[in-house]
């Protein structure tokens, strides 16, 4: 919660410290949800007259670790993270070392798109895809009334 322990020193409440560490681990986005190993990421999708624009948040992931494919009527974006943090003391001994890794994946249904002219760019952790619509296709929408 707030890590405030009245009337005693922080290091005297070992159980409270262990409980906080466990809660931090369980609530970590890298472990949630348990057992799946694959996580999602946030995206915005906008339709324009001649194209779709997909923006995906992928902070800290290099473009070499991002794979974008179109399979049938699915646009698939995969991103992998392999991160290692290391802290050493004055004698160059490791006092803490952490590793985080995981795969992020999103699948979108697409149709009537020009697969050959999809453009992708990554800037400041934001992946942006311009997905052109096929020319000559009727992209008008039909409104459905609810009874």
What digits encode the pLDDT tens for the residues 11-52?
A: 556 666 665 665 555 455 444 444 444 567 899 999 998 999
pLDDT at 32: 41
Whole-model pTM above 0.75? Answer: no
Residue 40: alpha-carbon gap to chain centroid: 5
pLDDT tens per residue, range 103-129: 889 999 988 999 999 999 999 999 999
The predicted pLDDT at position 68 comes to 94
pLDDT 10s digits, 72-97: 889 999 998 877 777 777 787 777 77
SS3 content of the chain, % helix, strand, coil (to 5): 15, 45, 40
Strands, sheet with 43-47, edge to edge from the N-terminal-most edge strand: 43-47, 51-57, 126-132, 119-123
Rg (CA), the chain: 23
Cβ contact 101:123 at 8 Å: no
Rounded to an integer, what distance in angstroms lies between the CA atom of residue 43 and that of residue 57? 6
> Of 112, 120, 117, which is closest to residue 68 (Cα–Cα)?
120
């Amino acid at each position: 919660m707030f890590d405030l322990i009245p009337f005693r020193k922080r290091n005297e409440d070992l159980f409270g410290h262990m409980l906080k560490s466990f809660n931090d681990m369980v609530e970590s986005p890298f472990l949630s949800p348990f057992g799946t190993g694959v996580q999602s990421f946030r995206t915005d999708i906008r339709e324009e007259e001649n194209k779709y624009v997909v923006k995906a948040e992928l902070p800290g992931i290099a473009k070499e670790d991002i794979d974008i494919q179109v399979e049938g009527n699915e646009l698939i974006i995969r991103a992998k993270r392999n991160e290692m943090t290391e802290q050493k003391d004055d004698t160059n001994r490791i006092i803490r070392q952490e590793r985080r890794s995981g795969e992020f994946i999103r699948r979108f249904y697409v149709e009537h798109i020009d697969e050959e002219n999809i453009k992708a760019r990554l800037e400041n952790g934001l992946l942006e895809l311009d997905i052109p619509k096929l020319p000559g296709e009727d992209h008008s929408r039909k409104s459905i009334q609810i009874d």
